[in-house]
Structure 1
Amino acid sequence: MKHDSKERYGSVSKTFHWLMAALIGWQLLKFGDRIAEGEHWVGETLVPWHVSIGTLLLVMIVLRLVWVMTQRHQRPAQDPATARLVKAGHGLLFAGMLLMPLTGIMVMLGGGYGLTAFGLEIFAKGDEIAWAATIGSLHSPLAWALTVLIIGHIGMALTHHFVHRDDTLKRML
């Protein structure tokens, strides 16, 4: 089933969800740079892909938002008592997923580094841009906030599965 239904998420939604979850998990390994100044296997093998994966995630979140908008009337029903909280939580997750790569791009442009993803130059190196650097300075605090939201999201999914014993988690599996 490609499209979402009132009972389950479709294959496109599931693919976006789990692929982005894996890539965001990879991105969060960047926190490992704070350990031993990145001088370990994570810092040396996975972190160099941080900008490329972030750029890919920006494309994916835009495509996912378009997909969500086309499916909004077909998505699984929410418990009316918590529907607003669920929408707010998902809205914050989507905002974080969108703001992370945008502020990351501002870090690169603000520092005059340019932007290269997967070996393709998107923006050439140039002069530092103060306003872009200022916006880019939000990248790290947003990473922490998004991490908290992700932990909350996982926690709620597990609570639904193991405590409430409903089918919320199964909809995305």
Structure 2
Amino acid sequence: MLNDSTARYGSVSKFFHWVMATLLAWQFLKFFDRISDGEHWVGENLVPYHVSIGTVLLLLVVLRLVWSIRQSKQRPEPENASRVLVKAGHGLLYLSMLLMPISGIMYLVGKGYGLKVFGMQLIARGEEMQWMADLGHYHSPIAWVMLVLVAGHIVMGLVHHFIKKDNTLKRML
């Protein structure tokens, strides 16, 4: 089933969710780059793809937002008591998934590095633009907020599965 239904998410929504979850987990490995100046396996083998994976995530989140809007009428709805919290939590997750790659690109372009994705120069190197670099400095604080949001998302999925036993997690599995 490609489309979502009121009972569960369809295969397209599940694809977006789990592929993006995997790529975000990879991106969060960048936190290890702060240890020993990246001189370890994670820093040497995974972190070099950080910009490329971030750019892929930006494309995926835009496609996912379009898909979500198209599916909004037939998606599973949270229970009435938590509807506002669920919508706010998901909204903040989507916002952070958009702001992360945008702020990263702003930092790179603002510093004059341009944007190179999987070896292809998408935005040429150029002059520094301080205003853009300044906005790009929010990339790290947004990453920490996003890490907390993702952790909360995981915890709530587990709470619904193991404590409430309401099949919320099964809708996305």
TM-score (norm 2): 0.99
How far, CA to CA, are the matches of 2:81 and 2:56 in structure 1? 36
Percent identity over the alignment? Answer: 61
- Structure 1 position 63 matched with structure 2 position 66: no
Task: Write the distance in 1 (CA, Å) between the matches of 2:84 and 2:41.
Answer: 42
Q: Give the match for residue 134 of structure 1.
A: 134
Alignment of 1:15-164 (within 5 A): 15-164=15-164
How far, CA to CA, are the matches of 1:59 and 1:33 in structure 2? Answer: 24
| Distance (whole Å) between structure 2 residues aligned to residue 86 and residue 169 of structure 1 | 13
The gaps in structure 2 that reach 5 residues or longer are none
Give the letter aligned to residue 104 of structure 2. Answer: G
Residue 69 of structure 1, CA deviation: 0.4
Q: CA deviation at 1:77?
A: 1.9
Residue 166 (structure 1) shift: 1.0
RMSD: 0.5
Deviates more, 1:121-130 or 1:17-26: 121-130
Q: Which runs of 4+ in 1 moved over 6 A?
A: none
Residue identity in the other structure for 2:116: T
Matched residues in 1 for 2:167 and 2:148: separation? 24
Q: Give SS of 1:32's match.
A: helix
Which residues of structure 1 form unaligned runs of 5+? none
**Superimposed CA distance per residue, residues 98-134 of structure 1 (whole angstroms, 9 cap, x where no aligned partner):** 0000000011001110001011111111111101101
TM-score (norm 1): 0.99
Whole-angstrom CA distance in 2 between matches of 1:23 and 1:142 = 17
Q: Secondary structure at the match of 1:145?
A: helix
For residues 69 and 119 of structure 2, the distance between their equivalents in structure 1, rounded to whole angstroms, comes to 32
Alpha-carbon distance in structure 2 between the residues aligned to 1:132 and 1:40: 31
